[in-house]
Amino acid sequence: MIIDMPDTSTNAVGKRLDSLRDEGGAVALGRVLTLVVVAGEDDIEAAVDAANEASHEHPCRVVVMAPLADGATDGRVDAEIRVGGDAGASEVIVLRCSDPLREHPDTLVMPLLLPDAPIVVWWPAGGPSDPTANPLGAMAQRRITDTTRADDPVDMLGRLAEAFTEGDTDLAWARVTLWRGLIAAAVDQPPYEPVTAVRVEGEHQHTSLDLLASWLGAKLRCPARVVRTEDADAITRVVLERRSGPIVLDRPDGRVVTITQPGKPERRVSLPIRALSEALIEELRRLDPDEVYGQVLRALERVETVESAS
């Protein structure tokens, strides 16, 4: 069910939600967090779809903030409430706000926050360079950016590293979780030789490469290099050099990883590129500070980058 509330206020939206709850059409008691999404008009539906998928594992109230399409300069809010089949296991409130109101987003969403529940803010199309300095980020326990969607992903990742505060995280980091598990399993086998160098290859400007290389370099205490190619799709290859020969994890098609290493049979493991909803679910599983992510950001400066034409 979708309820349109043009030219309204967030207090009126909150009262309407209370009315829906009293009528039995929406129940907020089982919600575990409030997810505030800061999106442009073109990103709303994809973000809501991902949030709805995530709500089946993390029931929440989703508040989406977006600009009014007509660029109104007066204090106007057009709201949309989605419940039932249009909201997964959550309640979705879409607020389209005029520019003056968007300058104070924290006061705008305050009436819609669930009491005594954590607040998570997500910017699906990049995000601010310093999430904690953002009015919404300052009130949140968790701040999720997505550097892969930024205008200049690598530059934004560097600025996030400079401004990192506990509670910050990035969907580019969630996208390497399965890679980290595969690599750890491959290294933790005989002959247990130290890794002398690491190379991560893949899509030009895809920040998951930088984060994975930084993590490997820090954990294995060896030089790490990122090789970027224009025609790649996300992470395509990881090479770990050892004295007896390299461990190579190759995923040219974005679906299956082939693992080869000396003295062992070739293995193939399904590893499709993670969907947006899967990355979001990964980040919502834990709301405490991600210390490893912070360490990886601090180690980024030690990663060498090489541009390749193919």
Contacts of 23-31 with CB under 8 Å at 24 or more apart are 25/1, 25/83, 25/84, 26/83, 26/84, 26/91, 28/61, 28/91, 28/114, 30/59, 31/59, 31/60, 31/61, 31/90, 31/91, 31/114, 31/117
**Structure token digits, residue 202:** 């893949």
Gyration radius from the chain CA atoms: 22
Q: What is the pLDDT of residue 71?
A: 60
205 phi-psi bin (left φ>0, alpha ψ -120 to 50, beta other): left
Tell the CATH topology of 2-174. Rossmann fold (3.40.50)
DSSP state of 305: E
> Residues of the chain whose pLDDT is less than 50?
25-26, 28
Write out the E strands in the chain: 2-5, 33-38, 60-67, 77-82, 91-97, 119-122, 142-145, 168-170, 197-203, 224-229, 235-241, 247-250, 256-260, 267-270, 303-308
> For residue range 247-282, what is the model confidence (pLDDT) as tens digits?
999 999 999 999 999 989 999 999 999 999 999 999
Q: What is the pLDDT of residue 310?
A: 56
Q: What is the pLDDT of residue 101?
A: 84
